[in-house]
Amino acid sequence: MKTLAREQKLQHLYWRAGFGLPFKPDQASPAIKNAVRGLLRQSGHAESLQVALPRTETTLQADAQNAEMRLLRQRERQQGFVLLNNSWLQQMTTSEAQLREKMTLFWHGHFACRLREPRIALLQHNTLRDHALGKFPNLLLAISKDPGMLQFLNNQQNRKQRPNENFARELLELFTLGRGHYTEQDIKEAARAFTGWSYNPQGEFVFRARQHDRGKKTFMGKRGSFGGEEILQIVVENPRTAEFLTEKLYAFFVSDTPHPERIRTLSTYFYNTGYDIPKLLEKIFTAKWFYGPDVVGSKIKSPIELLAGLQRQFDVTYTDGRSPLVLQRALGQELFRPPNVSGWSGGRNWIDSSTLAFRLRIGPSLLQDAALEVNLKPDDDSEPTAPRRRRQDGIRIVRAKANLNGLQQQLQQVKDRELIDKLSQKLLQVPLRPETAALLTQHIPSGAAHADKVTLLTLRLLSLPEYQLC
Amino acid sequence: MSALASGMLLVPNFLHGLDRSGLPLLGNSNGKRLVVVQLSGGNDGLNTVVPYQNDLYYKARPTLAIPSREVLTLEKGLGLNPAMEKMRLLYDQGYVSVLNSVGYPNPDRSHFRSMDIWHSASASDEYLSTGWLGRYLDSLSGPSANYAAIEVDDTLSLALKGERYTGIAVQDVKRFFQATNDQFLKQAAQLHAEEHSHHQVDYLYKTLIDTQQSAGYLQEKTKVYRSKKEYPNGEFARHLKTIAELIASGVESRVYYASLTGFDTHVRQAGQQANLLRELSEGLYSFVKDLKQQQEFDNTLIMVFSEFGRRVAQNASNGTDHGTANNLFLIGGKLKQAGIYNEGPNLQDLDQGDLRYSIDFRNIYATLLNNWLNGNAAGILGDKTQLLPGLV
pLDDT-above-70 percentage for chain A: 94
Give yes or no for A75 touching B (CB within 8 A).
Answer: no
pLDDT in tens, B68-112: 999 999 999 999 999 999 999 999 999 999 999 999 999 998 899
Bridge partners for B259 per DSSP: B38
Q: What are phi and psi of B306, to 5 degrees?
A: -135, 160
For B177, the 3-state DSSP assignment is: helix
Q: How far apart are CA B211 and CA A352, in angstroms?
A: 9
Q: Nearest C-alpha of chain B: how many angstroms from A19?
A: 20
Q: Please list, in sequence order, all residues whose beta carbon lies within 8 angstroms of the beta carbon of residue A71, skipping any fewer than 6 positions away.
A: A384, B266, B267
Give yes or no for A456 touching B (CB within 8 A).
Answer: no
What does the H/E/C string look like for A293-331? CCCCCCCECCHHHHHHHHHHHHCCEECCCCHHHHHHHHH
Parallel, antiparallel, or unpaired: how do β-strands B339-340 and B149-151 relate? unpaired
Looking at residues A23-33, what average pLDDT do you find? 86
Q: Which residues of A touch B185 (CB under 8 A)?
A: 360, 463-464
Cβ-defined contact of B116 to A340 (cutoff 8 Å): yes
Q: How far apart are CA B99 and CA B33, in angstroms?
A: 20
Give the number of other Cβ atoms within 10 Å of residue A348's Cβ.
Answer: 17
Q: How far apart are CA A237 and CA A222, in angstroms?
A: 12
Q: Name the DSSP letter for residue B345.
A: P
Which among B111, B127, B201 has CB closest to A465? B201
Residue B25 has pLDDT above 70, yes or no: no
pLDDT in tens, B339-354: 999 999 999 999 999 9
pLDDT value for A289: 98
pLDDT value for A400: 86
Give yes or no for B15 touching A (CB within 8 A).
Answer: no
Give yes or no for A460 touching B (CB within 8 A).
Answer: yes
pLDDT in tens, A133-192: 999 999 999 999 999 999 999 999 999 999 999 999 999 999 999 999 999 999 999 999
Give yes or no for B187 touching A (CB within 8 A).
Answer: yes
Confidence of residue B121 (pLDDT cuts 50, 70, 90): very high
Give yes or no for B178 touching A (CB within 8 A).
Answer: no
Residues in chain B: 392
Cα–chain-centroid distance for residue A238? 27
The distance between the two most distant Cα atoms of chain B, rounded to a whole number of Å, is: 74
Give the number of other Cβ atoms within 10 Å of residue B316's Cβ.
Answer: 10
Confidence of residue A466 (pLDDT cuts 50, 70, 90): very high
Residue A63 has pLDDT above 70, yes or no: no
Q: Which residues of B touch A374 (CB under 8 A)?
A: 154-155
Q: Is the torsion defined by CA of A179, A181, A184, A189 positive or negative?
A: negative
pLDDT value for B21: 30
Residue A432: closest C-alpha in chain B: B201
Q: Where are the alpha helices (DSSP H) in A276-430?
A: 277-286, 303-314, 323-331, 353-367, 390-394, 405-411, 416-427
Cβ-defined contact of B261 to A463 (cutoff 8 Å): no
Give yes or no for B116 touching A (CB within 8 A).
Answer: yes
Which among B127, B264, B276 has CB closest to A384? B264
Bridge partners for A217 per DSSP: A224
Q: How far apart are CA A48 and CA A104, in angstroms?
A: 11
Q: What are phi and psi of B149, to 5 degrees?
A: -135, 125
Give yes or no for B155 touching A (CB within 8 A).
Answer: yes
Q: Residue A81 in contact with residue A51, Cβ under 8 Å?
A: no
Nearest partner of A385 among A117, A77, A71, judged by Cα: A71
Confidence of residue B3 (pLDDT cuts 50, 70, 90): very low
Looking at residues B180-197, what average pLDDT do you find? 84
Cβ-defined contact of A357 to B180 (cutoff 8 Å): yes
Half-sphere exposure in the Cβ direction for A408 (13 Å, CA): 12
Q: Residue A255 in contact with residue A295, Cβ under 8 Å?
A: yes
Residues in chain A: 470
Q: Nearest C-alpha of chain A: how many angstroms from B208?
A: 7
Q: Which residues of A touch B272 (CB under 8 A)?
A: 387
What pTM was estimated for this model as a whole?
A: 0.90
Q: Residue B201 in contact with residue A465, Cβ under 8 Å?
A: yes
pLDDT in tens, A201-224: 888 999 999 999 999 999 999 999
Q: Residue B195 in contact with residue B290, Cβ under 8 Å?
A: no
pLDDT value for A397: 81
Residue B116: closest C-alpha in chain A: A339
Question: E strands within B220-297?
Answer: 255-261
Confidence of residue B302 (pLDDT cuts 50, 70, 90): very high
Give yes or no for A379 touching B (CB within 8 A).
Answer: yes
Q: Which residues of A touch B155 (CB under 8 A)?
A: 330, 354-355, 374-377
Q: Name the DSSP letter for residue A95.
A: -
Residue B171: closest C-alpha in chain A: A375
User: What does each C-alpha distance from B326 to A84, A246, B46, B91, B308 come to in angstroms?
Assistant: 35, 43, 8, 19, 6
For A383, the 3-state DSSP assignment is: coil
Q: Nearest C-alpha of chain B: how many angstroms from A272?
A: 32
Q: Please list, in sequence order, all residues whose beta carbon lies within 8 angstroms of the beta carbon of residue B55, skipping any fewer than 6 positions away.
A: none
Give the number of other Cβ atoms within 10 Å of residue A45's Cβ.
Answer: 9
Residue A1 has pLDDT above 80, yes or no: no
Confidence of residue B18 (pLDDT cuts 50, 70, 90): very low
pLDDT-above-90 percentage for chain A: 80
pLDDT value for B193: 80
DSSP annotation string for A144-195: HT-HHHHHHTTGGG--SSS---HHHHHIIIIIIS-TTSS-HHHHHHHHHHTT
Give the number of other Cβ atoms within 10 Å of residue A179's Cβ.
Answer: 9
Q: How far apart are CA B173 and CA B178, in angstroms?
A: 9
User: What does each C-alpha distance from A457 to A285, A358, A421, A422 come to in angstroms?
Assistant: 31, 19, 11, 11
- In the chain, the amino acid numbered B96 is V
Q: Which residue would you say has higher pLDDT here, A209 or A395? A: A209
Show which of residues 334-373 on chain B sit within 8 Å of chain A, judged by CB atoms: none
Half-sphere exposure in the Cβ direction for A78 (13 Å, CA): 14
pLDDT value for B141: 72
Confidence of residue A26 (pLDDT cuts 50, 70, 90): confident
- Mean residue pLDDT of chain B comes to 89
Q: Residue B302 in contact with residue B35, Cβ under 8 Å?
A: yes
Residue B20 has pLDDT above 60, yes or no: no
Confidence of residue B9 (pLDDT cuts 50, 70, 90): very low
Residue A446 has pLDDT above 90, yes or no: no
Residue B199 has pLDDT above 60, yes or no: yes
Cα–chain-centroid distance for residue A55? 27
What's the complex ipTM? 0.93
Q: How far apart are CA A20 and CA B72, in angstroms?
A: 62
pLDDT value for A378: 82
User: What does each C-alpha distance from B261 to A19, B39, B264, B307 come to in angstroms?
Assistant: 36, 6, 8, 12
Q: Which residues of B touch A439 (CB under 8 A)?
A: 184, 187-188, 191
pLDDT value for B142: 65
- In the chain, the amino acid numbered A229 is E
DSSP annotation string for B224-243: S----S---SSHHHHHHHHH
pLDDT value for A385: 55
Q: Residue A278 in contact with residue A39, Cβ under 8 Å?
A: no
Q: Name the DSSP letter for residue B344.
A: P
- In the chain, the amino acid numbered A355 is T
pLDDT in tens, A185-203: 999 999 999 999 999 988 8
Q: How far apart are CA B131 and CA B161, in angstroms?
A: 5
pLDDT in tens, A262-320: 999 999 999 999 999 999 999 999 999 999 999 999 999 999 999 999 999 999 999 88
Q: How far apart are CA A376 and CA B323, in angstroms?
A: 25
Cβ-defined contact of A376 to B113 (cutoff 8 Å): no
Give yes or no for A159 touching B (CB within 8 A).
Answer: no
Give yes or no for B184 touching A (CB within 8 A).
Answer: yes
Which among A67, A342, A377 has CB closest to B317? A67
Which among B112, B127, B205 has CB closest to A381? B112
Q: How far apart are CA B269 and CA B284, in angstroms?
A: 22
pLDDT in tens, A312-369: 999 999 988 889 999 999 999 999 999 999 999 999 999 999 999 999 999 999 998 8
Residue A404 has pLDDT above 80, yes or no: yes
- Interface A–B counts its CB contacts (< 8 A) at 159
Cβ-defined contact of B200 to A300 (cutoff 8 Å): yes
Q: Is B11 exposed, middle or buried (0-12, 13-18, 19+ CB in 10 A)?
A: middle
Cβ-defined contact of B266 to A464 (cutoff 8 Å): no
Parallel, antiparallel, or unpaired: how do β-strands A372-375 and B149-151 relate? unpaired
Give yes or no for B210 touching A (CB within 8 A).
Answer: yes
Which among A339, A386, A468 has CB closest to B116? A339
Bridge partners for B251 per DSSP: none
Q: Which of A70, A352, A429, A430 to mutate to test the interface with B (most CBs of B within 10 A)?
A: A352
- Helices H / strands E in chain B, number of each: 13, 12
Give yes or no for B279 touching A (CB within 8 A).
Answer: no
